[in-house]
Amino acid sequence: MGFERWFNRTLNRIWGFVEDRTGMPKWALRPQPAFSFKPSYWTGAFVVNAFLWQVISGMLLLLYYQPSVAPSLIACGQTPGTFSVAPAAWCSTYYIINTVPMGSLLLSSHLYGAYAMIFLAFVHMFRGYYLGVYKAPREFSWMVGTLLLLATLGMGFTGYLLPYTQLSYNATNVGIVLALRLPYAGPLLGPFILGDGTTQSLLSRMFVGHVLLIPIAMGALLYAHIALFESHGIAPPATSDPTQRRRFSDKEDKEHVPFMPHIFFYITKWALLYIGLLLGIAALWPWQLPTYVGNLTAVGLVTEPDWYFLWLFKFVDFYGVTPVLAVGMTNVVLLYILLLPFLDRTKRTHPRDRPLFIFIANSLVGFFLLMTVWGGLTPGQQILYPSIVERIAPIFLVNAVVVFLFYWRYERHYRARLAAAGQSNRLPGAYPTAPTPVPAAPRASEVASRE
């Protein structure tokens, strides 16, 4: 007990000193309301945790990785003891897995950590979408977030080629062909991506993108994203009440739970759980390195990207879908997400008040899931019109019926119930307002005089 008090006092004193000398509570790590002690309010922080693990594990991998397609002089046969001349990029990856102490754990956790980060970024985005956090004053937070998502996917794309396996090489080429077919942007991008057209040039560009350019862009975007978050404070719970405030006053801000140590340790707890799970999975199911680019003995290789791009690969398999159409439609979806705050103009944030936008979100999620599974099961297999309609149409139809029924039921019952109970000023999701003064209890003498 004595130790706990001493520990807390010391921590408070150190943090108090830092806050005082930096003026930090005014510009960073602001106090947050007590209701935010739920994982759903910190999905973005979980993405930051995942990003930090990627940075640390990536820097350690950099100590051994060689971004070169030249034949390696190091023995890196697929069966230990045999010598095979494979590209240095592949050989150095082989070396990390088989020779560097804990190298396999490091590489596998970096790869699975990338999957987790992309998955968490999607969760963070869709959570914000469903709960309407993109509405005023958080429009810019949303737009910077969309750019962060793009940068995260860019990290996945550029990192995929680095082990220089035949699988990743084929998939990267398909991705590049898609990008180059873009009208106007394609010819502009070409020289940047392809360089002098050699494989070394491509690998070097992917490498520089992965370890330098995109991380710098991500750092800058993340700084802007978090600065905006600090300036607006956390978004309140979703509400049907358009008059509700979406920002805390300075006074309320000061009364909230301090970031340090409460929120910091709350997030740290989740971060440690994340790292433990990630390392556990990486140790139990280490990644197996597929064969290298140019291995003439390899047969039956299928071109397949990582799971987060499978939907796009499957889309190109649809009869009549050209690369230009596939990339064009992807851009339309991206633009829709980017500009969402300006498309959904109602002040109500609760999902039940935004049926059209909820329908679109459900359709996007349904489409993405279906295409990902489909792409995984039948990569590269062409799909004809009847199958397309048979599988895609139910997503939109079922979704439209479900959203409509919920909305209809809500319109009929919910508002009627609130009005009947005279509670229209107590719709859920309100920021805590100053307590209404309770009239003082009458004094005994007053009661007696009334009688």
Interface with ligand HEM by CB under 6 A: which residues?
Answer: 42-45, 47-48, 51, 121, 124-125, 128, 133-134, 138, 141-142, 145-146, 148-149, 152, 222, 225-226, 229, 234-235, 337
Q: CB-wise, 122 or 169, nearer to ligand HEM?
A: 122
CB 220 to ligand HEM: min, Å: 12
CB 289 within 8 A of CB 97: yes
Q: Which among 89, 261, 275 is positioned nearest to 168, based on CA atoms?
A: 89
Q: How far apart are CA 176 and CA 194, in angstroms?
A: 9
Q: CB-wise, 65 or 134, nearer to ligand HEM?
A: 134
* Owner of token pair 């300006």: 342
Q: CB-wise, 171 or 235, nearer to ligand HEM?
A: 235
Q: Which among 137, 195, 202, 139 is positioned nearest to 169, based on CA atoms?
A: 202
Q: What residues pair up with 71 in beta bridges, in sequence order?
A: 87
CB 36 to ligand HEM: min, Å: 8
DSSP string, 208-257: HIIIIIHHHHHHHHHHHHHHHHHHH-SPPPP-S-TT--SS--HHHHHTSB
The alpha-carbon radius of gyration of the chain (Å, integer) is 27
CB 142 to ligand HEM: min, Å: 4
CB 320 to ligand HEM: min, Å: 31
| Sign for the pseudo-dihedral over CA of 405, 407, 412, 418 | positive
Is 32 in a helix, a strand, or coil?
strand
CB 310 to ligand HEM: min, Å: 19
Q: CB-wise, 48 or 400, nearer to ligand HEM?
A: 48
Q: Which among 206, 259, 277, 305 is positioned nearest to 50, based on CA atoms?
A: 277
Q: CB-wise, 69 or 361, nearer to ligand HEM?
A: 361
Q: CB-wise, 149 or 178, nearer to ligand HEM?
A: 149
Q: CB-wise, 142 or 292, nearer to ligand HEM?
A: 142
Long-range contacts of 75-78, Cβ-Cβ distance < 8 Å, separation of 24 or more:
78/291
Q: CB-wise, 47 or 282, nearer to ligand HEM?
A: 47
CB 189 to ligand HEM: min, Å: 23
CB 49 to ligand HEM: min, Å: 9
Q: How far apart are CA 359 and CA 368, in angstroms?
A: 14
Please give the C-alpha separations between residue 293 and each of 85, 148, 258, 282, in angstroms, as whole numbers: 11, 31, 53, 25
Q: CB-wise, 126 or 359, nearer to ligand HEM?
A: 126
Is 14 in a helix, a strand, or coil?
helix
What is the helix (H) or strand (E) element at residue 122, kind and residue range? helix 103-130
What phi and psi, each to the nearest 5 degrees, are found at residue 22?
Answer: -105, -15
CB 129 to ligand HEM: min, Å: 7
Q: How far apart are CA 233 and CA 249, in angstroms?
A: 10
CB 159 to ligand HEM: min, Å: 14
Amino acid at 281: I
